[in-house]
Structure 1
Amino acid sequence: MPKRAGFGDLELRILVIGSSGPSQFLLTNFILGREEFSEEVYSIASSQKNVGELVGRRVAVVNGPNLYDKDMSKSKMRKEMRRSMCLSAPGPHAILIAFELEKISPNDLKTPKLVKNKFGENVLNYSMILFVYDGHLSSRALNDKVMRTDWHLRELVEQCSCRYHIFSKNWRNPAANRELIHKIERMIQALGGHHYINRSYKRAEESVRNEERKLHSKKQSETKRTCRELEQQFRGDELRWQIDAYNASVGAEIRAKAELQNSWLRTSLAVGLGLGFVAGAAMGMIVGSVEGPAGMAVGGAVGGVVGGASGAAAQLAIEHIDDRVGSHPGSFNTAFVNRFYRAPPI
């Protein structure tokens, strides 16, 4: 069978981003072909990954936080951005930005720029606008609405080189799934067949792999013991199949854990707070020196606490500088991995 252009990886990795409302969660249901999120879900506390199939293609869908979530602090948002990167490492093949077609706000028009600021300079080359629609207009009328009659919709999709797709809230439609994956394939093919990557994604993948090595080392004795037990029960091809299946399930379990717990995630908040505490304490001591030694001590303590918040912003600015870099060029137990990513049975 000829290789499908742009899909050299074993799975298609899709990062789904929303600005507000349930659109990104309806999109995830649409891609996976199952109700992963109910229609009442408008936001999630932590980035999530679910796996399934899209037109016979194994797909991993990562949902990041809503970018305009007013209840999420900047430090929490930053950590969730990193978590979504670890879950979609070594890099997504497509970034889908979801909106409700009839509820586009002025903030929504800024979302592609915000995605660019958070994920890197060239991320929009790998991005597509997805509209959820709940109505009775024909496909041709909907396309005219986006590209001809509603200037704000055209302005939005033009930021992603006019790549867009419209899907229905009634998402159980196999034909619509085929249309979406064909659009994603064409986008990836035009980009040389590579997934998106930048310095932050390189760091995410490196950190995940380091964590994988540690977990494999801890599990080594258990793995050897299990393989010896399999050797006592099976022979020949059956033994090789059983060992391969076991190794695949262990590898999937370890990868799932490493994506959710690794040094890059653990240090994301600590670094920002540390920068802020040092800078704030220094400023507090300078101001407090007006009141003498006692004032310096109090000013330093208060300044350190206040500066912690600003340190998070400083760390984020450093990451944005790092991200302004362009892109470059076995078996898998899906049911097992879905258990770790809280996916219900298909």
Structure 2
Amino acid sequence: CIRKTIPKLQIILLGSRSVGKTSVGNTILGIMEQEDGRRTAQSVARHGFVGKTEITLVDTPGWWKSLRAFDTLEAIKEEVMRSMFLCPPGPHVFLLVIDADASFKAKHLDAVTTHMELLGEGVWRHTVVVFTRGDWLGPNTIEQYIEGEGEAIQSLVEQCGNRYHVIDNKKADETQITELLEKITWTVAGNGWSHFFPDEKIFLTIEEKTRRVEEGARLRQSQVKAKRKSLRGTVQSSSINVTSK
């Protein structure tokens, strides 16, 4: 049993579309909100406390469940990679969110693997699989689900060091979050209480993509300002012409 607690915990949520990543984040932070159906378009950091632990939780855009990273839009891949810059110096743990009410086959494993490894092969040592929609399991345990679902999900769980947890987002049960945080703490302890750092090549790629995104945003802002200034000049010129007549 690990008694040490982490005063500050940094978490990144990853997964395909519509698996309940935002709901997992809300449940961890104690936010009683239902997902409004809108898709997360950009990586966004949220903050809160669970007990005495300060939580930084980064939600990321989801990929299409059956598509490899090669077929995913660059904008989505860039946001997934940029997520690490929203919790410097890096996350302690990744929560890979999988919905327990849908099948998980080889093509889904391929999609998950290629997207996760955008962050580097070392990502798996820092990952816990979180199954959502636990109410769908009925009387079955999550272990029975994993065994019955087949080789693809078993391979994924093994890749993550058999670290997994199930959440029923419809139940306001603090125990399931307490148990999840215990598993997260165990994972962080197994990595020497350290943050995750991608290898240098991937870090430089992420840094370059982040720089391009920020430069693009600044360029768009300057273009908007220039258009507004031009529009004001046109309006003022028209007013002067009308007055002179």
TM-score between both structures, scaled by the size of structure 1? 0.53
Q: Is the 8 A contact 2:15 2:96 kept in 1?
A: yes
The structure with the largest alpha-carbon Rg is 1
Letter in 2 for 1:68: W
Shift of 1:75: 3.1
Paired position in structure 1 for 2:84: 85
Which residue of the partner structure matches residue 31 of structure 1? 28
In structure 1, the residue matched to 2:95 is 96
Which range is displaced more, 78-87 or 13-22?
A: 78-87
For 1:16, the equivalent position in structure 2 comes to: 13
Name the SS for the 1:13 alignment partner: strand
Displacement of 1:74: 2.8
How many residues are treated as equivalent by the alignment?
Answer: 207
Q: Secondary structure at the match of 2:14?
A: strand
Deviations 1:85-110 (A, max 9, x none): 21122111110011110213434322
Using the TM superposition, give the Cα deviation of residue 145 of structure 1 relative to its aligned residue in structure 2, in angstroms.
2.1
Distance 2:153 2:27 in 1: 21
Instruction: Select 1:56's aligned residue among 52, 59, 70.
Output: 52
- Written as runs of structure 1 = structure 2, the 5 A alignment for 1:108-257 is 108-132=108-132, 133-135=134-136, 137-138=138-139, 141-146=141-146, 148-151=147-150, 152-198=152-198, 199=200
C-alpha separation in 2, matches of 1:187 and 1:170: 26
Is the alpha carbon distance of 1:204 and 1:48 closer, same or farther for their aligned partners in structure 2, counting shifts above 3 Å? farther
How far has the Cα of 1:68 moved from its partner?
2.2
Could you say what secondary structure the match of 1:122 adopts? Answer: helix
Tell me the CA shift for residue 54 of structure 1.
2.3
Alpha-carbon displacement from aligned partner over 1:293-342 (angstroms, at most 9, x marks no partner): xxxxxxxxxxxxxxxxxxxxxxxxxxxxxxxxxxxxxxxxxxxxxxxxxx
SS in 2 for 1:98: strand
Report the alpha carbon displacement of residue 201 of structure 1 after superposing the two structures with TM.
8.1
Structure 1 distance, partners of 2:81, 2:129, is: 22
**Structure-2 separation of matches of 1:93 and 1:32:** 17
SS in 2 for 1:89: coil
Change (3 A) 1:12 1:182: same
Say if 2:137 and 2:145, in contact at 8 Å, map to a contact too: no
Q: 1:64 to 1:53 in 2, by over 3 A?
A: same
Aligned with 2:49: secondary structure?
Answer: strand
Structure in which a larger fraction of residues adopt helix? 1
Report the aligned-residue RMSD: 3.2
> In the superposition, relative to structure 1, how do residues 110 and 22 fare at CA in structure 2: closer, same or farther (>3 Å)?
same
- In structure 2, runs of 5+ residues without a counterpart are 217-245
Which blocks of at least 5 consecutive residues in structure 1 are unaligned? 208-262, 272-346
Secondary structure at the counterpart of residue 175 of structure 2? helix
Q: CA deviation at 1:202?
A: 5.9
